[in-house]
Copies of this chain bind each other. A is one copy, B any other.
């Protein structure tokens, strides 16, 4: 791993995967086809892209029952416990509606209402991602969303992965469709005979899913378009090189474009971690991916002080930040931008990826400067409440009319004055 002694600005920005014009055209034509031909289009694309001819899209109770037979009880218990932790954490994010009342009779407030219907896209491919089910569905449930729909591409066997179905079932999600790609996004946004449309679509996916989400945005809401993942470890000489290296590699195995960065004032730690990374890499099953990621996007930044290291961290605005220093907790106050902050050596990133409770859907690629982890607020909206009394309008009506006229909006002024007549 490259070791760089830094004094000036650093940045982890990688170009977002925007897709080619050809991919975009493909996505647009899929969306049009689904709008026009509904379920028929969905079934055709499933045959074309996933290689499976289905007769219906919705997952049946029998399929869910079968999935439970394929997953051992220990796994089910882990999923349950993780779900409980995630539900507990997100419950603390719930906010209440409020009103404030003034002496003149004015009532102002903010009403919180859940979004009606949310569609969760669960990626398919080679692996099953039950954690993605938990992290996307639970905040919506905690927010009070009435209808939560899940959709995911089928495997070659015509089924969804057992662990995904078990996770969904444990959460009580009953409306699950065997469809993936841009066609799934189109179905969620515009509806078909068997899929009623939703108001918001969330969840990660491949480039076609990302492009489709971008296209339907505005007609429905979407979550972020996720970029490649990253970890920054802020560590001093008290950190253990083998642990730091293992955490860097856990990020690197995700994706060749993932980014793993150590920032430290200790050049000794820097050198030891670099060695450890090489050593641990050699026995990893996903060695090739991790190696490319470390080579192209990995870095060790050595600064002269811990405070300078923190400055670097704030410039990077990482998705995941680990703080492995003396008095790690005391450093949190200095962190301005980070999706999730893992504090101390026992808080290895996978603790948060799977189990502790906070969400693993986090702002990537420096967007922690302005974005947040997926949370309950993403599934509610606010409505302002404004109730003016007669007294309040008499008191303030002339001022409001004057303000409207200042902006050249005469009908606004008259609407107020209409109440003050006679």
Cβ contacts under 8 Å, A351 to chain B: 386, 388, 393, 396, 400, 416
Bits for A64-94, please: 1 = Cβ < 8 Å to B, else 0.
Answer: 0000000000110011011000000100110
Any chain B CB within 8 A of the CB of A404?
yes
Task: Decide: A130 and B386 in contact? CB cutoff 8 A.
Answer: no
Question: How many residues of chain A are within 8 Å of chain B by beta carbon?
Answer: 119
CA distance A84 to B367 in the complex (A): 32
Cβ contacts under 8 Å, A108 to chain B: 89, 356-358
Any chain B CB within 8 A of the CB of A345?
yes
Cβ contacts under 8 Å, A2 to chain B: none
Task: Decide: B387 and A347 in contact? CB cutoff 8 A.
Answer: yes
Which one of A45-53, A148-156, A296-304, A328-336 is at the B interface? A328-336
CA distance A401 to B354 in the complex (A): 9
Any chain B CB within 8 A of the CB of A413?
yes
Task: Decide: B411 and A250 in contact? CB cutoff 8 A.
Answer: yes
Any chain B CB within 8 A of the CB of A409?
yes
CA distance A123 to B156 in the complex (A): 55
For the residues of A in contact with B, the DSSP-based class is mixed
Any chain B CB within 8 A of the CB of A232?
no
Cβ contacts under 8 Å, A340 to chain B: 383-386
Bits for A360-371, please: 1 = Cβ < 8 Å to B, else 0.
Answer: 001100011111
Which one of A35-43, A110-118, A179-187 is at the B interface? A110-118
Task: Decide: A386 and B352 in contact? CB cutoff 8 A.
Answer: yes
Cβ contacts under 8 Å, A131 to chain B: 403, 407
Any chain B CB within 8 A of the CB of A290?
yes
CA distance A386 to B382 in the complex (A): 28
Q: Pick from B128, B343, B407: contact of A386, CB below 8 A.
A: B343
CA distance A71 to B377 in the complex (A): 41
CA distance A78 to B328 in the complex (A): 49
Which one of A54-62, A266-274, A278-286 is at the B interface? A278-286
Given the known A-B contacts A381-B368, A415-B250, are A400 and B350 also in contact in the complex, defined by CB atoms under 8 Å?
yes
Closest chain B residue, CB of each to CB of A401:
B350
| A residues whose Cβ falls under 8 Å from a Cβ of B | 16, 74-75, 78-79, 81-82, 89, 92-93, 95, 98, 100, 106-108, 110-111, 113, 115-116, 126-131, 163, 199-200, 218, 220-221, 225, 242-243, 246-247, 249-250, 252-254, 280, 284-286, 290, 328-329, 332, 335-359, 362-363, 367-373, 375, 377, 381-390, 392-393, 396, 399-404, 406-416, 418-419
23 pairs of residues in contact across A and B, judged by CB atoms under 8 Å: A74-B402, A78-B402, A78-B403, A93-B110, A111-B332, A116-B369, A127-B409, A131-B403, A163-B406, A199-B369, A242-B418, A250-B409, A286-B409, A286-B410, A328-B387, A337-B381, A342-B387, A350-B409, A354-B412, A356-B386, A356-B388, A357-B386, A370-B381
